[in-house]
Amino acid sequence: MQLIRNFINGEFVDAAEGKTFEKRSPLDNRIIARVSEAGRAEVDAAVQAAHAALKGEWGALSTDQRVDLLYGVANEITRRFDDFVAAEMADTGQPHHVMTSAFIPRGAANFKVFADVVKNVPSESFQMATPDGRGALNYAIRLPKGVIGVIAPWNAPFMLMTWKVGPALACGNTVVVKPSEETPLTTTLLGEVMNKVGIPKGVYNVIHGFGPDSAGEFLTHHPKVDAITFTGETRTGAAIMKAASEGMRDVSFELGGKNAAIVFADADFDAAVDGIFRSAFLNSGQVCLGTERVYVERPIFDKFVQALKAKAEAVKFGRPDDHNANYGPLISAEHKRKVLSYYAKAVEEGATVVTGGGVPQMAGELAEGHWVQPTIWTGLPETAAVVREEIFGPCCHISPFDSDDEVINKANANDYGLATTIWTTNLARAHRVAARVEVGITWINSWFLRDLRTAFGGSKQSGIGREGGVHSLEFYTETRNICVKL
């Protein structure tokens, strides 16, 4: 049985107490690895190593030298592309094409793009007048914040973890990463890449474990962690924020969503159906930016529901490497229970189940996996739990609307505010509506089209702060102003 170790100060290490937990395959619930669970001692060793690296070789590098090393990381991820694809497929059970077209290339891009950003960022300067007429010059320098605690989720593990680690290292910080207990593999594999390309010891550290009373909590409470960046559930974010208040540490949070899609009757119909199919069901609906609420203008409502139903019913469940399959399971038995409890609740609340609502028949050992059907509901009021709460599964509720004001009010009547999509050929209306929807990210006639230089993050309970391009520098560096009397 494969043992997944912690990666501390450039070495793969077991926990001193020898504690391990199991990693099961989402496909068939088989145990595929054991994972060494970091205790307080390992978390402390990782943070101390990260701290020492800041004061050592890493801290002494020029920006150009750091940038070259990060290009090396990106290239080495690309060279070991197949290993990362295999590891991420084993962890998540998601299809091969999702890994190769999106999630793993983004891992490499997350290092390359932020290396480019730090290389090209201008610095601020202001000249000022002084009473003696000679003036003064202010200029700003950016310094790394220090040791960054990175807490990552399981839904797109490699992409979301490197989205934090890339900019953190580009800015000269060091990191201690706690991947989700559900997805330990690619984060650990990245340790091999770091050693291969010569990233100094202690710059990138990985500790495995759970949240409360485990590695996550030990890391977020560690006094030598200077800032915490987290992607995951809003409730977990609240617990981490409390921990960060000890010592006044900064946080950056990408949290949950209950994203609305707005489809106007004049939309390119097929493009809208395709886009919403992807946004509701990609990665088995386990995408924070995914659509769980669809609002369709009344004249095309029935036609739209039928078209989305047909696509949802055409998915082919199967293993990631089965070329006849295109659809994977949920991450865990626990998550399957949660999603199915919402499927039951929708029925209790009086939904019309357009399609799905249960589990597919799987043959052989796959019958033990965490499969659920893509599910579409109609007919619920906005107050229903499945219309208000984040489910994070392959499901959406579709309701009709009659006016811009009505649909904007409905889209905004939610505690979350992560992303929205608007589908119309009337671009003037699209811009007007986009400005009024209370979210951090709006796509018009598309979904998940990502330029990594743009601001990314959520409004309301979907997050704190923005990352992406120069916005990441605001979190991963500290700006100091120097005033020179001339």
- Active-site residues, by number, are 254, 288
Residue 279, binding choice from ligand NAD, ligand 6OH, none, Cβ under 5 to 8 Å by partner class: none
C-beta separation of 6 from 40 below 8 A: no
CB atoms within 10 A of CB 306: 12
- Angle (CA) 9-225-57 rounded to 5° is 40
Q: Which is nearer to ligand NAD, 157 or 200 (CB)?
A: 157
Angle (deg, nearest 10), helices 63-79 and 104-120: 170
Does 86 sit near ligand NAD (CB under 6 A)? no
Does 288 sit near ligand 6OH (CB under 6 A)? yes
Binding segment toward ligand NAD, per CB under 6 A, in 10-18, 210-218, 421-429, 466-474? 210-218
Residue 163, binding choice from ligand 6OH, ligand NAD, none, Cβ under 5 to 8 Å by partner class: ligand 6OH
C-beta separation of 477 from 143 below 8 A: yes
C-beta separation of 389 from 414 below 8 A: no
Least separation in angstroms between CB 263 and ligand 6OH: 22
Among 29, 94, 155, 205, binds ligand 6OH (CB under 6 A): 155
Least separation in angstroms between CB 463 and ligand 6OH: 10
Among 67, 73, 104, 151, binds ligand NAD (CB under 6 A): 151
- Which residues, 156 to 215, sit near ligand 6OH by CB under 6 A? 156, 160, 163
Least separation in angstroms between CB 3 and ligand 6OH: 28
Residue 19 CB-density burial (10 A; 0-12 exposed, 13-18 middle, 19+ buried)? middle
Does 186 sit near ligand NAD (CB under 6 A)? no
Among 200, 463, 465, 469, binds ligand NAD (CB under 6 A): 463
Q: Specify the pairing of strand 20-24 against strand 31-36.
A: antiparallel
Work out the end-to-end distance of the chain between its first and last CA atoms, rounded to an integer number of angstroms. Answer: 68
Residues 6+ apart with CB under 8 A from 111: 70, 71, 73, 74, 77, 162, 166, 169, 170
Least separation in angstroms between CB 258 and ligand 6OH: 13
Among 20, 155, 229, 279, binds ligand NAD (CB under 6 A): 155
Q: How many CA atoms lie within 13 A of 424 on its CB side?
A: 20
Picking from 305, 298, 292, 155, the residue whose alpha carbon sits closest to that of residue 232 is: 155
Least separation in angstroms between CB 363 and ligand NAD: 29
List residues binding ligand NAD (CB under 6 A).
151-155, 160, 178, 180-181, 210-212, 216-217, 220, 231-233, 236, 239-240, 254-257, 288, 390, 392, 418, 458, 462-463
List residues binding ligand 6OH (CB under 6 A).
155-156, 160, 163, 254, 287-289, 450, 456
